[in-house]
Amino acid sequence: MDSIDELRKLDKDEQMAQLPIYLQEFERKLQQRIMPLISLSQKMNKGSIVDTRQITTVSKQRIITPVKQSDELYGVCVPEFILTEICTLIKEKYFQAGSLDD
């Protein structure tokens, strides 16, 4: 945004001369921002595994990322049908009727 403000201060001829430089800089900054997202999405597309034997409590204070909207995983949620499957597995494994009596 600062670059746009600087560009607006110039006259039309100077704007046209400087525009390619500003566009290249914008593209470079955009690449810096999206490369971590691309890398993360490639890792996530390989799949994940849920091991219900590794359930533990995590304090909110221990969560480092995502906390800001600019963080890579901000807004990423596990789909409801996957959460339902995980809950079903946990119930079957740990809360089966009569399993506490064994």
Q: How confident is the model at residue 97 (pLDDT cuts 50, 70, 90)?
A: low
- Residues 22 and 8 grouped into a single domain: yes
Q: Find the range with the poorest average confidence among 12-16, 52-56, 85-89, 95-99.
A: 95-99
Alpha helices in the chain (DSSP H): 2-9, 12-45, 80-94
* Domain of residue 29, residue span: 1-47
Can you tell me the mean pLDDT for 19-33?
A: 86
- Residues 60 and 86 grouped into a single domain: yes
Instruction: State pTM to two decimals.
Output: 0.43
- Residues 61 and 35 grouped into a single domain: no
Identity at 40, one-letter amino acid code: L
Mean pLDDT over all residues of the chain? 80
- Residues 75 and 59 grouped into a single domain: yes
3-class DSSP assignment, residue 66 = coil
- Residues 22 and 59 grouped into a single domain: no
pLDDT surpassing 60 at residue 3: yes
- Residues 22 and 41 grouped into a single domain: yes
Rounded CA gap, 63 and 58, in Å?
8
- Residues 59 and 38 grouped into a single domain: no
The neighbour count for residue 66, using CB atoms within 10 Å, is: 13
- Residues 43 and 54 grouped into a single domain: no
pLDDT: which is higher, 1 or 22 = 22
- Residues 61 and 26 grouped into a single domain: no
- Residues 34 and 53 grouped into a single domain: no
Q: What is the pLDDT of residues 47-93, one digit of tens each?
A: 777 787 888 887 877 777 788 888 777 887 888 998 899 899 888 88
Domain count, the chain: 2
